[in-house]
Amino acid sequence: MYFWYQSVKLWLWILYPFSLLLRFISHIRRVLYRHDILKSTQISLPVIVVGNISVGGNGKTPFVIWLCELLLKEGYKPGIISRGYGGRSAHYPLLLGPDTLGAESGDEPLMLYKRLGLPIVVDPSRVQAATYLQRNTDVDIIITDDGLQHYALKRDIEIVIVDGKRRFGNRHILPMGPLREPLSRLASVDFVINNGAEHEGEISMYLVPSACKTVDGRDAQLIPDGEINACAAIGYPQRFFDTLEAQNFKLNQVQHFNDHHSYKLKDFAQFETDIPLLMTEKDAVKCTGFAQKNWWYLPISAKLPQPFEKQLLKKIKALK
């Protein structure tokens, strides 16, 4: 909702009572879980939640990739759990495998699986997903992709990703603004990661693109010396288009779809077929079955300061 990131218009105050109601419900839920009136499950493995307090497009997935690669380098065996937004499986928990479809798991878990090859379980109940990972795999630490507000699962470390450019928009709770919880929630998390900027008290993260890859898996190279078309079905598509221009790509046609859009071949009929089409890695996992030879995606990796690595690893080792 673009109006969340603009000055508050007069008509938006119509939504204010609903925002107050959601804020009240959010507060009551936290109180009920804090006092064990609502059940919160503690599993025996360390649990790290990577989430946000605002909706959509904050850079959470690149951070999860960075975190898992860091843990692997340090000798850990991480596993990931996710709600699997946008997917629908015939059964849960769903352990992803080579034949899993994005329509079953959701696009983000499938992208993480293809990039990392780690045990990933999707379930609307993160308690069930974490329990399944603990009982059926050899993971020794669990990363929950999103789920900051899923208090039914106890967590040992909370990490929040903040969009360094858009920040918190108009700073109001849904539906008047983009916040899932009030800004005061940030005071209770372990780390706040700022995606793309510097801010006092926050860890700066920058996203670094690497060489483009073909959606159909061929080994080929795309050189930014001509025009391209681009599409994105992510929470903040303009960031992707800005990244392409920063990489010296010349954009011809661009099209953004709703976040987690389930692509069909007909969605691409609007593009000139003789011009390469470039998309995000999250888009690509949903298009492999009908990808054309001149379709590409841009892998993105996160870069964070080394002192933060040491600080985070120290906190994790203290848990174990």
- Domain residues of the chain, as ranges? 38-204+303-319, 211-298
In 3D space, the residue among 105, 46, 124, 102 whose CA is nearest the CA of residue 79 turns out to be 46
Distance CA 226, CA 219 (A): 20
Distance CA 36, CA 215 (A): 48
Predicted pLDDT of residue 254: 94
Domain 211-298, CATH: 3.40.50
Structure tokens at 104: 């079953």
Predicted pLDDT of residue 320: 65
Look at domain 38-204+303-319 and name its CATH class.
alpha beta
Taking the CB of residue 192, how many other CB atoms lie within 10 A of it? 18
Determine contact, residues 224/247, Cβ cutoff 8 Å: yes
> What's this model's pTM, rounded to 2 decimal places?
0.92
Distance CA 164, CA 199 (A): 8
Taking the CB of residue 290, how many other CB atoms lie within 10 A of it? 14
Give me the sheet containing 250-256, strands edge to edge: 213-214, 295-298, 277-280, 227-232, 250-256
pLDDT per residue, tens digit, the chain (320 aa), is: 667 888 888 888 999 999 999 999 999 999 999 999 999 999 999 999 999 999 877 889 999 999 999 999 999 999 999 999 888 999 999 999 999 998 899 999 999 999 999 999 999 999 999 999 999 999 999 999 999 999 999 999 999 999 998 999 999 999 999 999 999 999 999 999 999 999 999 999 999 999 999 999 888 888 777 899 999 999 889 999 999 999 999 999 999 999 889 899 999 999 988 899 999 999 999 999 899 999 999 999 999 999 999 999 999 999 96
Distance CA 291, CA 82 (A): 26
Predicted pLDDT of residue 195: 95
Same fold for the domain at 38-204+303-319 and the one at 211-298?
Answer: yes
Distance CA 167, CA 161 (A): 10
Predicted pLDDT of residue 272: 86
CA–centroid distance for 148 within its chain:
12
Predicted pLDDT of residue 138: 96
Predicted pLDDT of residue 85: 86
